[in-house]
Structure 1
Amino acid sequence: MINTSRLCLVEDDAIMRASLCQRFKIEDIGCDCFTHAEEALGALAERQYAALISDIRLPDMSGENLYIRLLDSERPPPPTIFITGYGTIDQAVRLLKLGARDYITKPFDLDDLLAKLREVSPSLFEDMHQGNAELGVSPAMRQIKNTLDRLAAHRVDLLITGESGVGKEYAARYFAQRYNKGTDKPFIAINCAALPEDLLEAELFGHVKGAFTGATKSRRGMFEQASGGVLFLDEVGETSPRMQAKLLRTIQERVVQPIGSEDQIPVDVRLVYATNRDLKAMVDRGEFREDLYFRINVAHVHIPPLRERKEDILWLAHRVVENYFNEHQARRLILPLTERYLEAQPWPGNLRELANAVERACILSPQEVLGPREFGASGEEPLLSPDHLSLKEAMEHYEERLLRETLEHHEWRIAETAESLGISRKNLWEKMKRYDISQPA
């Protein structure tokens, strides 16, 4: 039976292999990675993959010979895409005649590769909860995504709560996209805590010419500007009692009265509120209007902090790395050791703090690989020795360390270790032999 969530990748270039694996992780596609054709042949003999991506130039044999070996085996090869930096038309024609599904040359766009992969093996994407990763890959964020999908189909306002930096505005934007259904209806956001009361009132409700000093012309407020779409009121818990009263009237009657005007203007707007405050406690203390609280707390989504959904830590970190590459064409790689370091941090600033830390590490690191020290860890051995290891040597050094630590964690149980690393048992044995790793007596 085809494993619809796993892909076989054969690539000996460490940076290219890591970049592809990072992108597949972002897309929630399981991937077994190999550097040698013989390793891949062993894995392909043990299990049936949904697709195979292979480089042409490999250390032990060519990708073309790998494919021919698969054609001669009992199990037919999965849909196969070849990638190479040294391709020729004749070779491409030969491979396609043999049955390969596609052949692309380096450098290539990762989105193009994913599009080709979706064409040749749709099963890879069928069980991936497509779209869920727009907010995160943790069970909590998948559930929130499903809740927002349902709420978008109903005419109710939405309250989003959670600590600072958890992604409340991301959730609001996703909700607006689902509500607007791909149209050009507006999404307008305003931080209620960032403006003085008078300016906030003018921004929300608008004003007519001459309403106050400096009002040289009339201006539509955000309620009007967002009409037909979504208005996002961030930090609504920071509004003054006077502003709360004006918001309550507007929410109840769906009309606004610009400053200096006697006219009331109807607005058709979907409202999303967000706060990091406990509004119920504020009501009990007399700091927030109870009637306004009940008006805005019709549909409520609470986003948990990052420390309670650790699955989203690496998801976000790899997305930031990918965005950095797309913007600067400078490749960065988060080492497995660094991934574990990131997952162990509390991240009190949540997504905002983590994204800033990863972007800062990408900018300041003098090398392509990001070790724990790039994130402020102390006591870790340097990524590069005084002799300046090559990138290949550094990657092998950390691969050996990862193998030893994972084996020790699983008490040298080969099957559990191989499953944890996402490789076959044969591949694990071969790597242990290469690095002279054996269980202590």
Structure 2
Amino acid sequence: MKQTVLIVDDEPAIRELLEITLSRMGLDTVSAASLGEAEAKLRERPPNLCLTDMRLPDGNGISLVESIAAEFPDIPVAMITAHGSVETAITALKAGAFDFISKPIELEGLRNLVSSALRLAEPEAPEPPANGSTRGPELIGESPAIKTLRQQALKLARSQAPVHIQGESGSGKEVVARLIHNHGPRAAAPFVAVNCGAIPHELMESELFGHVKGSFTGANRDKPGLFQAAEGGTLFLDEVADLPLVMQVKLLRAIQEKAVRPVGSSEEIPTDVRVLSATHRDLAAEVAAGRFRNDLYYRINVIDVHVPPLRQRLDDLPALVARIIQRIAGENGERPQLQPSAMNAMRAYDFPGNVRELENIIERAWALSDGQQISAEDLQLNPRNTVADTPAAPVMTGGIDYEAAIGDLEGYLEDVERQILSAALEQCRWNKTATAKLLGVSFRSLRYRLQKLKLDD
């Protein structure tokens, strides 16, 4: 039986164009010229997909999106918007639209959109496992926060809306992004993850958009960028707040126009990519400080997802530890047991590095243990980093010595900074990641300061 698409538009020419294009794709079409007519046909014969214009004679297309989302949640809806109407597209996505396409309608983009949407309703598609797992990393745990996060991720998988994932370093932001990708219509296509903070600024444009041969010294061949590598799939921009402002402008255009211009090229290349982003920072605060563009913020933050830190879901520790030990046993052929005292010690720990730190702690403890039992001593946890006793800022004794600063202000300030860093490092047992978090600076900034002050050894 053919799949059916409901077309809602008051312009006969647009309806005819869509009907011809979709019929050539082997689809049946049903058309409506108004909101009332569309609602009647929805109830008469629910379609597999709905394409609706924004402006209708008797109402707003957003109303239809909201109505379908409430009454027919399994029917994806795509909004037809005016060219360049970013605000309309964002409003539609927030209302529950699967995706949007701009007028004048580009037929190849329309076919891609329709194919992606209809894959959601394929009857042969397997139901997702109860714990939300697929190939790749899993979102492990049954705490209320993780259950809510898993349900949210599975719901967002049915949309093409840009999602911004906020959470502390090591909390599992990429795991959530992969879960969204793996349960969506793009699951069979590539998932490309890139850490924006790890790419040198001068290479960032080439990495994201590609370059053509001869565009700069060393460009001896054409090179596709990460947008092209993720074609048909998902591009995950981790630590997106680290993008320089000039790249933020170019990224905004690539997302809005669904096209990229390789370095040295005079032509844009259409792209079909879903963009997910993440950062451990407060993006709204970055916007207020002028470090992140307001227009890009609203474009990538259509839907916001928060990943809770591990200290807020300690009930998930047994499941997480069991999975980590299972992986270690698979690699080493042994399965160490965790003593009750070790689990109690971890329940009292603050985990500033979250799940990533937990993995490192278990792997280190397994290496230090006798291979059979992991004790609390093997974990080597910092007693100051506990849930009940979160580290406070290091206390400096004495006041400002004005006389000592005269004639050598730079040297005096370096001495003060050296004292602060030494006290903080000692408090965190020389764990540099924890020290950077304690002082509110990036790990890169801390490492630079330690090298400058000859404290890195």
TM-score, normalising length: structure 2: 0.53
Distance 1:344 1:159 in 2: 31
Partner of residue 349, structure 2: 345
1:130-188, Cα deviation, whole Å (9 max, x unpaired):
337931212111111111111111120110001111000111111111124652x1000
Partner of residue 18, structure 1: none
Partner of residue 132, structure 2: 131
Distance 1:314 1:350 in 2: 14
Partner of residue 177, structure 2: 172
Residues 77-88 of structure 1 correspond to what in structure 2 (within 5 A)? none
2:369 and 2:375 in contact (8 A); partners too: no
Partner of residue 226, structure 2: 222
Which amino acid is the alignment partner of residue 151 of structure 1?
A: L
What displacement does 1:288 show?
Answer: 0.8
* Alpha carbons of structure 1 residues 313 and 284: separation in structure 2 relative to 1, 3 Å: same
Q: Which runs of 4+ in 1 moved over 6 A?
A: none
Which amino acid is the alignment partner of residue 166 of structure 1?
A: S
Which amino acid is the alignment partner of residue 227 of structure 1?
A: E
1:217-272, Cα deviation, whole Å (9 max, x unpaired):
00111111101000000000011110100011111111000000001000010010
Partner of residue 359, structure 1: 363
Distance 1:199 1:186 in 2: 22
Structure 1 spans left out of the alignment, 5+ residues: 1-127, 380-441
1:314 and 1:343 in contact (8 A); partners too: no
Q: Once superposed, what is the RMSD of the aligned Cα atoms?
A: 1.8
* Alpha carbons of structure 1 residues 186 and 338: separation in structure 2 relative to 1, 3 Å: same
Partner of residue 333, structure 2: 329
Residue of structure 1 aligned with 2:164, choices 150, 159, 163: 159
Which amino acid is the alignment partner of residue 183 of structure 2?
A: R
1:88-110, Cα deviation, whole Å (9 max, x unpaired):
xxxxxxxxxxxxxxxxxxxxxxx
Distance 1:217 1:345 in 2: 52
Distance 2:382 2:162 in 1: 47
Which amino acid is the alignment partner of residue 338 of structure 1?
A: A
Partner of residue 276, structure 1: 280
Distance 1:228 1:256 in 2: 14
Aligned length, in residue pairs: 251
- Identical columns (%): 44
Which amino acid is the alignment partner of residue 317 of structure 1?
A: V
* Alpha carbons of structure 1 residues 181 and 269: separation in structure 2 relative to 1, 3 Å: closer
1:324 and 1:359 in contact (8 A); partners too: yes
Partner of residue 191, structure 1: 195
Residues 135-146 of structure 1 correspond to what in structure 2 (within 5 A)? 135-137=139-141, 138-146=143-151
Partner of residue 111, structure 2: none
Task: Confirm or deny that 1:368 pairs with 2:372.
Answer: yes
Task: Confirm or deny that 1:303 pairs with 2:307.
Answer: yes
Residues 35-434 of structure 1 correspond to what in structure 2 (within 5 A)? 129-131=130-132, 134-137=138-141, 138-180=143-185, 182-183=187-188, 185-376=189-380
Q: Larger relative contact order (C-alpha < 8 A, sep ≥ 6)? A: 1
Which amino acid is the alignment partner of residue 351 of structure 1?
A: V
1:208 and 1:217 in contact (8 A); partners too: yes
Which amino acid is the alignment partner of residue 306 of structure 1?
A: L
TM-score, normalising length: structure 1: 0.55
1:104-135, Cα deviation, whole Å (9 max, x unpaired):
xxxxxxxxxxxxxxxxxxxxxxxx94337931
1:361-419, Cα deviation, whole Å (9 max, x unpaired):
1122123011101012699xxxxxxxxxxxxxxxxxxxxxxxxxxxxxxxxxxxxxxxx
1:136 and 1:142 in contact (8 A); partners too: no
1:298-329, Cα deviation, whole Å (9 max, x unpaired):
01101111111112222211111111111110
Partner of residue 23, structure 1: none
1:185-210, Cα deviation, whole Å (9 max, x unpaired):
10001100001112121110000001
2:173 and 2:307 in contact (8 A); partners too: yes
Structure 2 spans left out of the alignment, 5+ residues: 1-128, 384-457
Partner of residue 384, structure 1: none
